[in-house]
Amino acid sequence: MKTTYIKISLLSLFSMTAIVASCSKLLDEKPNQSITTINTLKDLQGVLRQPNMISFGGLVNIGADQYVHSNSAYSTMAINFQNAYRWDKDALFDIWSGAYRGIYAANLVLTEMERIKEGTEFERNDLRGQALFFRAFSLYQLTQVYCRPYGPDAQTALGLPLRLTPNVEEKISRASLQETYNKIIGDTKEAIGLLPLRNIAINLPGKISCYGFLAKMYLSMREYSEAEKYSSLYLAESPQLLDYNTLDTLANPSIPRINLESTFDAGMTSVSTNAVVTANPILIQSYHTNDLRKKVLFMINADGSAVFKGSYFRSVSNQGYCGIATDEVYLIRSECLVRLNRIEDGLKDLNYLLVRRWKTNRFTPVQTTSKEDAIQILINERNKELIFRGTRWSDLRRLNEDGANISLSRTINGVTYNLPAKDNRWIWLIPAEVINLSGIQQNER
């Protein structure tokens, strides 16, 4: 029996119906695309290597505080961007479909591999590991937007619909947050046992990128021993960092497209429909004069405003990056070591990173014996290093779970909009079409 795979447009169609109970109306639409028959592992690899297989909407960046819009820039934005920018209680912004497109593709590969028996053990393991990772990675991105932060109530808090087959007609409700995180971790750990250390392309995962992903996962869960464990496994295999002294700070971009720090390449859409994204002046002012990141990551205009140019995403220099990179893993391990009362070891990692970000012979190593001071320094450095990586939103959410009580505010046309620390708007609404078609529970407002 042959299985038919309809290219890009049908995957997009499935992504819109990824959790629906009845999607016959949508499935009746006939895409005007070629049809390829899946009969080989090469065909299945093609499913996972489609453009934007892992590319997410920028909600995790839109809600955070790393950028600002002028009144004039705000007025030219699409309505959904405006609503998200001011954290409107009814703001609807769809990254659900893109993520579930990746989940559908991964499920298709995992299912069809049971039918297709060709290939060596290495080839089959590699392909299965890729699919498991892509599914886990997509689910993780969704948790940072549509679920509450991981905490003691994870057993009862709402997670995601765990769709594990390509059958879009199957009715699935939202799992608990604990079940969702368990699935993400389980898939990734299984992938580690299947994948090569590095893969043949930067947009395909290997063991190293799985280690880095688990370090991110466990940090978001505030499980610091596990996050330290996987960050150390990563850094044992991929410790190299860029020395910003070797980069052309006047170039756009300054970050080379072939970037030795990026071990898994994945991008996010911009935080605006405008081409130019202006950094938050408070962030720009936080860089020391000798800190090269200010000029490597931003173009500084005559008026002092700064435009982002420093994405690690290899395709677009001003687009968000949500892949796995070594600089972030050093910061993860550094924070975990400090939180585990190994302050000196944690600051050693931080200083190893920062000396490669400052002008040669101008950096004074960070020193403190205060755990609280060290943590605050690390949070500030994460904000300065990981620009438009989606990490700032996740950091603020997890810090508030620990009682940091961080609120955000924006002023637009003289009106100030606030996002208090305990507000439900730290969890975005699931797109209305998904709710209407599937009947799954919407997030509270």
What's the distance, CA 343 to chain centroid? 28
Neighbours of 439 (CB within 10 A): 13
Mean predicted confidence (pLDDT) in 201-228? 98
Looking at the fold, whether 409 and 340 belong to one and the same domain comes out as yes
Q: Which domain holds residue 32?
A: 1-58+95-195
Q: Is residue 445 a part of any domain in this protein?
A: no
What's the confidence (pLDDT) of residue 2?
A: 46
- 226: burial class by Cβ within 10 Å (0-12, 13-18, 19+)? middle
> Helix, strand, coil: what percent of the chain each, to 5?
45, 10, 45
Same domain for 172 and 208, yes or no, is no
H or E element in which residue 13 lies: helix 8-16
Please indicate, yes or no, whether residues 185 and 208 belong to a single structural domain of this protein.
no
In a domain, 438, yes or no: no
- 46 and 162 both lie in a single domain: yes
pLDDT digits (tens, 9 = 90+) for 155-198: 999 999 999 999 988 999 999 999 999 999 999 999 999 999 99
Average pLDDT over residues 15-30: 34
Residue 32 has a pLDDT of 34
Cα 255 → chain centroid: 19
10 within domain boundaries = yes
Q: Which of 162, 195, 228 is the last residue of a domain?
A: 195
Q: Are residues 273 and 362 in the same domain?
A: yes
Return the DSSP state at 94.
Answer: -
Write the DSSP assignment of 120-144 as a string of letters. -HHHHHHHHHHHHHHHHHHHHHHHH
**Whole-number Cα distances in Å, 426 to 78, 195, 199, 389:** 21, 35, 36, 17
Confidence band of 246 (pLDDT split at 50, 70, 90): very high
Residue 442 in domain: no
Write out the H or E segment, with its range, that includes residue 226: helix 224-237
Provide, rounded to the nearest whole percent, the portion of the chain with pLDDT above 70.
Answer: 89
Are 277 and 67 contacting, i.e. CB atoms less than 8 angstroms apart?
yes
Q: Is residue 67 part of a domain?
A: no
Last residue of a domain, one of 160, 195, 230: 195
109 & 249 share domain: no
Window from 88-102, 145-159, 327-341 with minimum mean pLDDT: 88-102
* Residues 77 and 133 both lie in one domain: no
pLDDT in tens, 319-352: 789 999 999 999 999 999 999 999 999 999 999 9
Q: What is the pLDDT of residue 20?
A: 36
Phi and psi angles of residue 414, each rounded to the nearest 5 degrees, phi first: 85, -5
Give yes or no: residues 126 and 264 share one domain: no
Do 170 and 260 share a domain, yes or no?
no
Higher pLDDT, 80 or 183: 183
Tokens 């297989």 locate to 53
Among the candidates 137, 164, 195, a domain finishes at 195
Q: Distance between CA 89 and CA 334 in Å, rounded?
A: 36
174: helix, coil or strand?
strand
pLDDT value, residue 315: 72
d(CA 39, CA 117): 10
Distance CA 98, CA 60 (A): 14
Q: Are 53 and 203 in contact (CB under 8 A)?
A: yes
Q: Within this chain, do residues 177 and 105 fall inside the same structural domain, yes or no? A: yes
Whole-structure pTM value = 0.92
pLDDT at 11: 38
Pairing of strands 267-268, 55-56: parallel
> Do residues 187 and 106 touch, judged by C-beta distance below 8 A?
no
- The alpha carbon of 359 is separated from its chain's Cα centroid by a whole number of angstroms, namely 30
Helices within 49-176 (DSSP H only): 59-62, 71-75, 79-85, 96-112, 121-146
Assess whether 83 and 117 both reside in one domain: no
Domain tally, the chain: 2
Residue 66 counted as domain residue: no
Tell me the pLDDT band of 442, cut-offs 50, 70 and 90: very high
- pLDDT at res. 30: 31
CATH number of the domain residue 131 falls in: 1.25.40.390
Establish if 42 belongs to a structural domain: yes
Residue 21 neighbours by CB distance under 10 Å: 15
Q: Do 245 and 353 reside in the same domain of the chain?
A: yes
Pairwise pLDDT comparison (121 vs 169), residue with the higher score: 121
Mean pLDDT score of the chain:
90
As to burial, measured by CB atoms within 10 angstroms (0-12 exposed, 13-18 middle, 19+ buried), residue 46 is middle
Average pLDDT in the 404-420 region?
A: 98
Mean per-residue pLDDT, 29-40: 54
Q: Which residues contact 242 (CB under 8 A, 6 or more apart)?
A: 255, 256, 259, 260, 261, 327, 356
The pLDDT tens digits of the residues spanning 415-427 come to 999 999 999 999 9
Among residues 19, 211, 71, 70, which one has the least CA distance to residue 133?
211
Cis peptide before 420 (omega within 30 of 0): no
Domain membership flag for residue 173: yes
Can you name the residues that pair with 158 across neighbouring β-strands?
176
Instruction: Check residue 318 and give its pLDDT.
Output: 58
